[in-house]
Amino acid sequence: MSVAEAEAAFAALEQRIGRAFNDRALLREALTHASAFDARQNSKRNYERLEFLGDRVLGLVVAEKMYADFPKAGESGLAPRLNALVNRAACARAARRAELGAALVLSRSEEEQGGREKEAILADACEAVIAALFLDGGYDAARGFIERFWGDEFDDVSEIPRDAKTALQEWAAAQKRSLNYTIVSRSGPEHEPRFLVEASVDGFAPARGEGGSKREAERAAAAALLSEAGVDV
């Protein structure tokens, strides 16, 4: 993507999200994947720092909304709702609604490998855009984006979502089969680790899930195994 094409894509995105950035450089940083720079340009900014901040802003916005929307719910009722809305899959869905993929700055090889549609890239960029909005326009700007592009997902948690780990544990117990989780790998810096976990149930093919914590990765692996086994949660 040329500089002119990128600027046009950024302008189109600003129209979709309903906000023109005061500092367009923040938006560019939020949409720039690390692949866009080679080793000699490692001082250039990509979205990783903004992603770190955006994850926390997203969590606060959703926690505040859940607290207000469910005044009678205790922590046990609020936490699963938060987990259902603050995760990689939910961020990727929001990114697709906002069409963030069209504005991503990627290397040619990453683009040829389908980077604009990869769930991990879309989710990370979504969190980075939330951070950019927060830094450029404050809390209300970030909250407006989240409330708009999470859309009906807030309504979908009117009932407490079943945690995938709980559902898999109950299903495995009903089948009288043992369930195990294994950490396959841990990567990333100490402040922002990524875990890859494998869930296995006797007699079924194992499934893997990734997350920023061991628990998140276990939930993702449990959801993947349930899906592959054809079990509705």
The confidence score (pLDDT) of residue 233 equals 58
The class (CATH top level) of 164-228 is alpha beta
> For 73-83, how does the pLDDT look when each residue is reduced to its tens digit (9 = 90+)?
898 888 888 98
127 tagged catalytic: yes
Supply the pTM of this predicted model: 0.74
Which of the following is catalytic: 51, 110, 127, 136?
A: 127
Please report, for the chain, the start and end positions of each structural domain, with discontinuous segments joined by +: 3-156, 164-228
Average pLDDT over residues 211-232: 85
Residue 12 has pLDDT above 90, yes or no: yes
Which of the following is catalytic: 51, 55, 124, 136?
A: 55
Please say whether the beta carbons of 186 and 209 come within 8 A: no
Q: Which of 5-19, 61-75, 160-174 has the least mean pLDDT?
A: 160-174
Q: What is the CATH number of domain 3-156?
A: 1.10.1520.10
> For 115-158, how does the pLDDT look when each residue is reduced to its tens digit (9 = 90+)?
899 888 999 999 999 999 999 999 999 999 999 999 889 988 88
CA distance 28 to 61: 23
- Same topology, domains 3-156 and 164-228? Answer is no
7 tagged catalytic: no
Residue with tokens 């592959």: 228
